[in-house]
Each structure stands twice: as C-alpha cells, then as structure tokens.
C-alpha cells in the first residue's frame, strides 16, 4: 500500500525516496483501524514497545573460530604467524580462538582467558604479550632481533656473522627472527663451542647466508670436530657397512 502511494511520484535522489517512504509509513501506522479502536501505532506503543529490550552497546561483529590451538611453552598461541600471550598457567593446554576484524580472543570452554588487538596485515613473527599473562610480569621479555644478536654474540663471532647475514637478507628484521632463532637454538642440542665451529665451516663454504639447514648436517655428522666441511674437502674415511658392487647383483652367469 505504501509503495502504491508512491508509484506515480518521481524522486531525484535516494534520500528523497527514503524520506517519502518514512512519511507514508508513519501515516499508514497512525491510520485508525476500521473494526476496532486504535491504530497500528497505538498497539505498538501500548503492547509491544514495553517488551522490547535495548540494543547492545557494542555492535555485532562477524567472527571466525579456531579450535584446539595448543599454548606453546613460551606461553603464546600462534595465529597467522604471529604470537599472542595466554595466562602462563595454561601452557600446554588446548584453547579456542575467536577472531574478528580487529581482535583475537582466547577461550577455554566458555571462559575467556585473554584478548589482544590483531597484528597489522603483512606483519609476521610479532609477539603480543600482556605482562599479566607472564609468571613474574615484565622480567620475562619476548625474543626480538636485538636479543637474538646478543645471544649470537655470546656464542661467538662466526655465529654472530651468520645471524647478522640472516637479518640483512630480509626487508624487516622481524622477518628473519625465526631463521636466526633456529640457528641459535642449536645450542640446546649441541654445545655453543660446536655450534660456533659449525658456523665457521658454513661460512667457509660458498653459501652467502648459511642457516639452520646448513649447520645441522655439519653437527649431525661431526664435521665440526674433524675441522672440515662437506663442500670443499672430501672425507678420507672408508664408508661404513658393506658395499655390494655390480658383480654381486650380476648373479651366477655360469
């Protein structure tokens, strides 16, 4: 009925049409009923309006859920290659993430543990950490490129050179943090002395920017203890085990 009343009119803009629709709807709702007292407006104000609840103060946001994310030993969960802190007593626990356009929330069941602003688009290896999530507050610091360089300096000159080259190979230092830490964490499996020796062997090779994939084989095969690398000096030991030549596989020809 409202549309029919506007059918013969012409509107130059959408706001003009919207205002005309509002006007006609208001008149239609205020029109008295034919067979009963009142109008649609009076019924709404007297019976329906008192039952309405106010709109939420926070606008609804579309979100996505990720389930069963494990809290790492460093007290963070990973989302899109960035790290978000969780209260430390939840380390090792599986939690659920609710992500909106601006926020990441961490839940354990129906309990919200913490929330963070999302890292900007294109940023990786960034740590978002609340001091209250850590065991003793700000005494625990997140790993960053500067701390990685200091760690490398404690191991030795060769390791420092490799870490610096990793950071020089990327546009932003944070993009090289993961690769640098992979090299430094070799000291958890091997002694710092061995890692430094392996770093020297890797630097003597033709690889411009040695990384974990270059150092780990040197350490696994004990080349750092023999003082040579696989690229420029062949080993002089006999191969271990039994070697069967072509005569063996040829079989009995008689």
Within 10 A of 230 (CB to CB), how many other CB atoms are there? 15
Q: What is the pLDDT of residues 53-110, one digit of tens each?
A: 988 887 888 899 999 999 998 899 999 989 999 999 999 999 999 999 999 999 999 9
Predicted local confidence at residue 97, as pLDDT = 96
Predicted local confidence at residue 62, as pLDDT = 86
Show the DSSP H helices in the chain as ranges: 2-6, 14-30, 40-43, 145-155, 157-168, 177-184, 192-204, 212-220, 223-226, 246-250
Which pair of structure tokens corresponds to residue 101? 């356009």
Q: Where are the domains of the chain?
A: 2-51, 64-139, 145-226
Give the mean pLDDT of 110-136. Answer: 88
Q: What is the pLDDT of residues 194-240, one digit of tens each?
A: 999 999 999 988 778 899 999 999 999 998 887 544 444 444 444 44
Please give the residue that has the higher pLDDT: either 246 or 212.
212
């Amino acid at each position: 009925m409202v549309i029919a009343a506007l059918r013969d009119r012409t509107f130059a803009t959408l706001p003009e049409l919207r205002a005309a629709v509002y006007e006609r709807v208001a008149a239609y709702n205020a029109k008295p009923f034919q067979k009963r007292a009142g109008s649609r407006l009076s019924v709404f104000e007297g019976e329906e309006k008192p039952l309405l609840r106010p709109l939420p103060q926070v606008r609804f946001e579309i979100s996505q859920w990720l389930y069963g994310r494990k809290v790492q030993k460093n007290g963070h969960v990973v989302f899109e290659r960035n790290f978000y802190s969780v209260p430390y007593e939840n380390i090792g626990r599986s939690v659920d993430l609710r992500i909106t356009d601006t926020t990441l929330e961490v839940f354990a069941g129906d309990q919200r543990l913490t929330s963070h602003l999302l890292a900007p688009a294109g940023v990786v290896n960034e740590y978002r950490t609340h001091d209250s999530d850590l065991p003793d507050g700000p005494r625990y610091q997140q790993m960053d490129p500067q701390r990685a360089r200091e760690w490398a300096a404690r191991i030795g000159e060769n390791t420092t050179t490799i870490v610096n080259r990793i950071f020089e190979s990327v546009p932003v230092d944070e993009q090289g943090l993961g690769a640098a830490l992979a090299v430094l964490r070799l000291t958890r499996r091997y002694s710092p002395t061995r890692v430094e020796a392996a770093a020297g062997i890797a630097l003597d090779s033709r690889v411009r920017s040695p990384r974990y994939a270059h150092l780990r084989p040197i350490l696994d095969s004990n080349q750092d203890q023999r003082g040579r690398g696989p690229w420029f000096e062949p080993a002089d030991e006999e191969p271990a085990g039994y070697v069967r030549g072509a005569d063996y596989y040829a079989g009995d020809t008689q």
